[in-house]
Amino acid sequence: MLKEFRKEKAPEFSFLSFDPFHLLNRMRFDFPKTESKRIYVYVQSQPALASVRYNDQSADIHVHSVLNHPHTPKEVMMFIFRHELLHLEIPPRVVEGKSTSHPPEFWDAERSLCPERTIAWIWLKLVLFACLKVDRKREGTYVKSNWKRLMSIDRPTLEQVAEMVSFVNTTGKEEEELIL
């Protein structure tokens, strides 16, 4: 029994500058299928940057420890929560003979429900680029196991990131879909 417990990483105290549970509850109104569910947020070390596990009564959103920092912007967490809540609204399905947890209607809904999507991904790429790996086959963004050693830069604010990329023409080609 003790060995099993050690395999599952224990949740951490949040070091975020805001209450993630309160933030999540404010956003739930955009997701009608979540109204009857109890939803919990856990910050813990895990392979994925974020994930959701759910059944008919409840859902658990797990966010990786790499984001558990007072300088992680609220908008980044809003985007991650919306992405995970969308999984409760839009189930996996088969597209062109392949099972996918992110069908085309998922990406359409994410674009319309997540105004912070682009800047959140820019922040994630800029700040956590050394720690993340995107696995398109498994449809996920994963955190490298040695992420603590790879985190060597300060975390800029969302506003600082927006200033850094303000010269980029945002009306050009839409960026590829990235997966949480």
pLDDT digits (tens, 9 = 90+) for 61-108: 999 999 999 999 999 999 999 999 999 999 999 999 999 999 999 999
* The pLDDT value given to residue 76: 97
* The pLDDT value given to residue 154: 82
* The pLDDT value given to residue 87: 96
- Residue of 3 and 41 predicted with greater confidence: 41
Of 40-44, 67-71, 138-142, 167-171, minimum mean pLDDT range: 167-171
pLDDT band for position 179 (cuts 50, 70, 90)? low
| pTM of the model as a whole | 0.86
pLDDT band for position 169 (cuts 50, 70, 90)? very low
Q: For strands 58-64 and 38-44, give the pairing.
A: parallel
Q: For 10-40, how does the pLDDT look when each residue is reduced to its tens digit (9 = 90+)?
A: 789 999 999 999 999 999 989 998 988 999 9
**DSSP structure string for 48-106:** BSEEEEE-SSEEEEEEEGGG-STTS-HHHHHHHHHHHHHHHHS--EEETTEEESS-HHH
* The pLDDT value given to residue 92: 94
What share of the chain has pLDDT > 90, as a percent?
73
Residue 8 CA to its chain's centroid (Å): 20
The predicted model gives 43-57 an average pLDDT of 95
Q: Could you give the C-alpha distances from 100 to 20, 87, 94, 161, 164, in angstroms and in order?
A: 28, 11, 6, 32, 34
* The pLDDT value given to residue 167: 52
